[in-house]
Amino acid sequence: MTTIALSAHRSGLRAALNSDWARLVDAGLPSRWHAVAPLTGCRDLDGVLSRIRERPDPTLSALLELCADDDQLAGRSVLQAMLGKLVRLAGCDPSAGLDDYVTAMWFRIRTYPLAERPRRIAANLALDTLKSVQHQSHQPRGVDVTPYPPDVIVELSAERAAMDEDAISARTVIEVAAQLGVISLDTGAVLTSVYVDGLNGAAAAARHGKSQGAVRVQCHKAVRRLAQHSPTLALVA
């Protein structure tokens, strides 16, 4: 496999990666991949990408295991599957470019703790990459870091006490926002009580030892903060 020139001009990196991928697709699949259950039946690398979309965790898990066994093509396949998300993350980031995100993602792919985090692998890779870029690229420059996280944008409203069919997605957004420091852990717990568990103001206040007014104000401020980051909270989880 051709070594990826991460120092290439940012505007040309995506094209370079896609060109490299097209060449790899033409080369065909390694024979041993046909014996790997999630990859069985894939005719080429584009078929592997389709399988990732159909069965993300089992397929990514298999590829990461291959990558851990020094199969760079497996890691490269994971990178290609994540490329669109990396492009969107970089497009939202005023201080880091696609090269920064690709470099961080490649490191995460090669070091992903599969045994500890076997679920939501794509989301975990994206979140780890984002946090790595923020830490390495933003903070040393003294920039006020703006988090750029998940795949579903949940519209949170201070007047809405229950999320119904969006409850799971709301939980994901709240958890990711707390991990990134968009909101505090305490605020995340309050939002979960109101928007995921569906507690009314009185019940949420009792659960968290606050007044109803304090819960209302905290939710209002947090919802505004989540709204400010909604375009990126749709890229990580």
Please identify, among 141, 172, 202, the residue that sits at the C-terminal boundary of a domain.
141
**Cα separations in angstroms, 119 against 47, 55, 165:** 22, 11, 21
pLDDT digits (tens, 9 = 90+) for 81-106: 999 999 888 888 878 888 888 888 98
Residues 163, 165, 167, CA angle at the centre, nearest 5°?
A: 50
CATH, residue 188 = 1.10.10
In a domain, 16, yes or no: yes
Kindly tell me if the per-residue pLDDT of 49 is higher than 50.
yes
In a domain, 117, yes or no: yes
- DSSP-derived secondary structure for the chain: -PPP-TTS-HHHHHHHHHHHHHHHHHH---GGGGGSGGGTT--SHHHHHHHHHHSHHHHHHHHHHHHHTT-HHHHHHHHHHHHHHHHHHHHH-SS--HHHHHHHHHHHHHH--TTT--SSHHHHHHHHHHHHHIIIIIGGGT---------S-----TT----GGGHHHHHHHHHHHHHHTSS-HHHHHHHIIIIIS---HHHHHHHHT--HHHHHHHHHHHHHHHHHTTTTTTS--
pLDDT digits (tens, 9 = 90+) for 140-191: 333 322 222 222 222 332 222 333 334 336 788 888 888 888 889 999 999 8
Q: What is the pLDDT of residue 214?
A: 85
Are 106 and 194 members of one domain? no
For the chain, the domain total comes to 2
Give the domain extent around 123.
10-141
Are 22 and 57 members of one domain? yes
In a domain, 234, yes or no: no
In a domain, 155, yes or no: no
Give the global pTM: 0.60
In a domain, 236, yes or no: no
Kindly tell me if the per-residue pLDDT of 50 is higher than 90.
yes
In a domain, 136, yes or no: yes
Please provide the size of the chain in residues: 237
Q: What is the pLDDT of residue 157?
A: 29
Are 64 and 131 members of one domain? yes
Are 101 and 173 members of one domain? no
Of the pLDDT bands very low, low, confident and very high (cuts 50, 70, 90), residue 232 is low
In a domain, 205, yes or no: yes
Are 107 and 168 members of one domain? no
Report the pLDDT averaged over residues 210-225.
Answer: 82
